[in-house]
Amino acid sequence: MSEKRIALGLRNITKVFGDKYANKNVSLDVYHGEILSVLGENGSGKTSLMNVVAGIYTPDYGQIFIDGKEVSINSPKDAFSFNVGMIHQHFKLVDVFSATENIVLGIDDGGFDLKKAREKIVQIAEKYGFIIDPDKKIYDMSVSEKQTVEIIRVLYRGADILILDEPTAVLTPQETKVLFNVLRRMRDDGKSIIIITHKLHEVLSLSDRVAVLRKGEYAGTVITSQTNEKELTELMVGGKADLNIHRDEPKNAATRLTVSGINCKNREGVTVLKDVSFEAKAGEILGIAGIAGSGQRELLEAIAGLQKLEDGEVVYIDPKTHEKENLRNKTPLEIREMGVRLSFVPEDRLGMGLVGNMGIVDNMMLRSYRKGHSMFVSRKEPKNLADEIIDRLHIVTPDAETPVRRLSGGNVQKVLVGREIAAAPTVLMAAYPVRGLDIGASHTIYDLLNEQKKKGVAVIFVGEDLDVLIELCDRIMVLSGGAVSGIVNGRQTTKEEIGLLMTKSKEESANEQ
């Protein structure tokens, strides 16, 4: 390593938001021809640090060196002039433009020669092994194709230092493999690649070195070949961590919910659920996997009475009377009035599950305010419930009245899950309940789900991290393009199997039958 030249050096970078340090005295180096992972929990300052390098934030303090020279990067344009390019988590592409048009967009090199640009793009693609159609419009592209366009755009502008912010979050395992091969080829070409991630196994398989951030501070850099998951986790959380997710055998797994042949269209009239059928059983966790936007949200909303069904049935089987109740096209209120205790932790916590500007007490009231005949609300019971949840789930908040939008992501989620569990559900649906949560908070949520499973609740868990799904769930249903492409046993399946199912089209699965 010592003979390698430093491409990017950061010294004492400090960035403050309000009275919170996003980064505090972070110093690290990136060499030419290496892949550096920046690892850290959510809120540890990975993205804000990289935004400083990419010119989106100006640091409050500290210096940036590129090839040994101190520079000041005040805009993404500046960053490009120093050959630094960032690929953001949310793509910034013009939908109605082709790949080529998007790539040349904003480059002022005197002329506008799409033909020449196209040639250059093809060259870049060949050099690093990208698969791209330069004339394809963005709206016709899959997520991974869009990402390819973003990466080529940065390379086209001559970037030597590439920053990728959680590039694999939206990819299947197979697409991830392709991306990693491309990144390795770029490294061998002498480029410096910084990849922001919190997935440990990716860090280990891809990078040369790992820089760890913890609560905005630099926790150390380790050489990947000399470390392991356990050590990295301890660096990340700053102490011993138990990474194992507990999984009990389901007991008396009786069918609680039967979904058969549901079809569903979204507002634009596009079919989002195609002939989905499955059963959810009491005392078991059913995982739902799939690429983002494969119909997970719509499925849960259809069960919760928030999506109109074109056809199909959602049948709830009462645990005591074994009576069957059809929930099809019932409103959430009607479902509750039927005595079906269905709890739902939606993906959009502050936009759907909670009201961001209300305190915990008023958010508890969302489920219970109708109780009683008085025309006035009673805040006494919700207050008690709020205090109980704050106490039991260790929610960090100044008080029970503080607007929940001011709490951290983990605490917001605990408020939401806490409220939904407090309703003593018989079916609990949770969509991406650990998204954006750190390891500690994630494990609290897993424990809560397991506790519900033990109580005989039918738990439906929509997740994105396949490792977690495989460790936590008893069965995993995979959605692909709104259709069920397979239901596998969580104890026996592999990531590769799920990954294949995630991309399997409806035609393929039809051919097999």
Partner 1 sequence: MNNNGTTINKNAQQIHEPLFQVTKRAYTTWQKAWIIRAVAIAVALVICAVVIVLVTGLNPLNVYGTMFEGNFGTERKIWNLLREIAMLLCVSLAVTPAFKMKFWNIGAEGQSLIGALASVACMIYLGDKLPNGVLIPVMLISSVLAGALWGLIPAYFKAKFNTNETLFTLMMNYIAMQLVAFCIVFWENPKNSNNVGVINSSSKSGWLPVIGDQKYLLPVLIVALLTAVMFIYLRYSKQGYEISVVGESQNTAKYVGINVKKVVLRTMAISGAICGIAGFLITSGVDHSIRSDTIGGLGFTAIMVSWLAKFNPIYMVLSSFLIVFLEIGASSIATDFKLNESIADVLTGIILFFIIGSEFFIQYKLKFHKRDKKEA
Task: List residues near partner 1 by CB under 8 A.
Answer: 14, 16-19, 21, 56-58, 60-61, 72, 74-75, 304-306, 331-336, 344, 346, 348, 350-358, 362, 365-367, 369-370, 374-377, 402-403, 406
Name which of 76 and 436 has its Cβ closer to partner 1. Answer: 76
Name which of 405 and 454 has its Cβ closer to partner 1. Answer: 405
- Per the CB < 8 A criterion, the answer to whether 359 and 405 are in contact is no
Name which of 64 and 437 has its Cβ closer to partner 1. Answer: 64
217: left (phi > 0), else alpha (psi -120 to 50), else beta? beta
Output the smallest distance, CB 422 to partner 1, in A: 14
Token output for 425 = 């559900």
Report how far apart, in Å, the C-alpha atoms of 173 and of each of 465, 501, 505 are: 10, 11, 16
Cβ neighbours around 58 below 10 Å, total: 12
Give the span between the Cα atoms of 502 and 484, in whole angstroms. 9
Output the smallest distance, CB 102 to partner 1, in A: 25
Output the smallest distance, CB 338 to partner 1, in A: 12
Residues 6+ apart with CB under 8 A from 67: 5, 6, 7
Give the span between the Cα atoms of 468 and 244, in whole angstroms. 10
Name which of 43 and 305 has its Cβ closer to partner 1. Answer: 305
Output the smallest distance, CB 26 to partner 1, in A: 14
Output the smallest distance, CB 348 to partner 1, in A: 7
Name which of 288 and 304 has its Cβ closer to partner 1. Answer: 304
Give the span between the Cα atoms of 467 and 202, in whole angstroms. 11
136: left (phi > 0), else alpha (psi -120 to 50), else beta? beta
Output the smallest distance, CB 74 to partner 1, in A: 5
SS3 state at 389: helix
Give the span between the Cα atoms of 359 and 357, in whole angstroms. 7
Give the span between the Cα atoms of 320 and 322, in whole angstroms. 6
Name which of 370 and 392 has its Cβ closer to partner 1. Answer: 370
- Interior angle at CA 423, CA 418 and CA 429, nearest 5: 70
Nearest to 238 by CA among 209, 207, 208, 216: 216
Name which of 58 and 326 has its Cβ closer to partner 1. Answer: 58
Name which of 94 and 333 has its Cβ closer to partner 1. Answer: 333
Output the smallest distance, CB 278 to partner 1, in A: 23
Output the smallest distance, CB 63 to partner 1, in A: 8
